[in-house]
């Protein structure tokens, strides 16, 4: 896919109809209330959430509240987050990814993501993030995409580096978790540097 500048401001994504994205294996769609059990299974797994900040979920209503909050943020044009599903099973959410904020004046946004542990190591998250990167550069007019990862979360670090994100620095002892301070690595991907995969 060719990464190009939007033609004009009217071409930019405007938070109208929720955009679905497709990749060879995945279907990224809007989260719905019916997805709460799947989201709870993801966010209730300590191994998935231990680098996210905050404890893993212990109640289904926490997942319900998360989905509602994501929908409200989209309605208020603050952020956009997709549920990740497999193309052959689009009703079952196996992860989430998206833009946690979008600063239009600066043409930059920040991504976040998580994936059910059963699907780790299959290249699913790089495939999903690549789709939202291309959406960001093409439809949102972004010039810069930001991300961060705990220095201990080597899976996330490898995903970002695989996608071409560059390390910009480290915030030492940036957070306090489980009686220990942790370092946060800051990443960015600039549109001028991004090279889409060969098709």
pLDDT in tens, 115-170: 999 999 999 999 999 999 999 999 999 999 999 999 889 999 999 999 999 999 99
- Residue 13 in any domain: the answer is no
- Residue 32 in any domain: the answer is yes
52 — pLDDT class (breaks 50, 70, 90): confident
- Residue 154 in any domain: the answer is no
- CATH number, position 23: 3.40.630.30
Using a cut of 0.95, tell me whether the model's pTM lies above it. no
DSSP letter string, the chain:
------SSGGGS--S-SPPPEE-SSEEEE---GGGHHHHHHHHT-HHHHTTTSSPPP-SHHHHHHHHHHHHHHHHTTS-EEEEEEETTEEEEEEEEEEEEEEEGGGTEEEEEEEE-GGGTTSSHHHHHHHHHHHHHHHTS--SEEEEEEETT-HHHHHHHHHTT-EEEEEEEEEEEETTEEEEEEEEEEEGGG--PPP-
- Residue 65 in any domain: the answer is yes
- Residue 76 in any domain: the answer is yes
User: Domain range holding 36?
Assistant: 19-142
pLDDT in tens, 118-127: 999 999 999 9
């Amino acid at each position: 896919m060719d990464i190009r500048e939007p033609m004009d401001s009217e071409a930019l994504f405007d938070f109208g109809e929720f955009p679905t994205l497709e990749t060879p294996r995945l279907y990224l769609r809007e989260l719905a209330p019916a997805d709460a059990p799947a989201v709870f299974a993801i966010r209730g797994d300590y191994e998935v959430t231990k680098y996210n900040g905050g404890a893993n979920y212990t109640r289904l209503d926490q997942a319900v509240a998360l989905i509602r909050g994501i929908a409200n943020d989209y309605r208020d044009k603050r952020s956009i987050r997709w549920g990740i599903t497999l193309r052959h099973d689009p009703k079952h959410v196996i992860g989430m990814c998206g833009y946690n904020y979008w600063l239009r004046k600066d043409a930059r946004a920040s991504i976040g993501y998580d994936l059910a542990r059963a699907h780790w190591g299959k290249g699913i998250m790089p495939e999903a993030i690549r789709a939202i990167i291309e959406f960001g550069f093409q439809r949102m007019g972004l010039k810069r995409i930001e991300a961060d990862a705990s220095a201990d979360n080597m899976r996330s670090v490898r995903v970002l580096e695989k996608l071409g994100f560059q390390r910009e620095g480290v915030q030492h002892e940036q957070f306090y978790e489980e009686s220990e301070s942790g370092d946060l690595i800051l990443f960015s991907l600039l549109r001028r540097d991004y090279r889409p995969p060969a098709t």
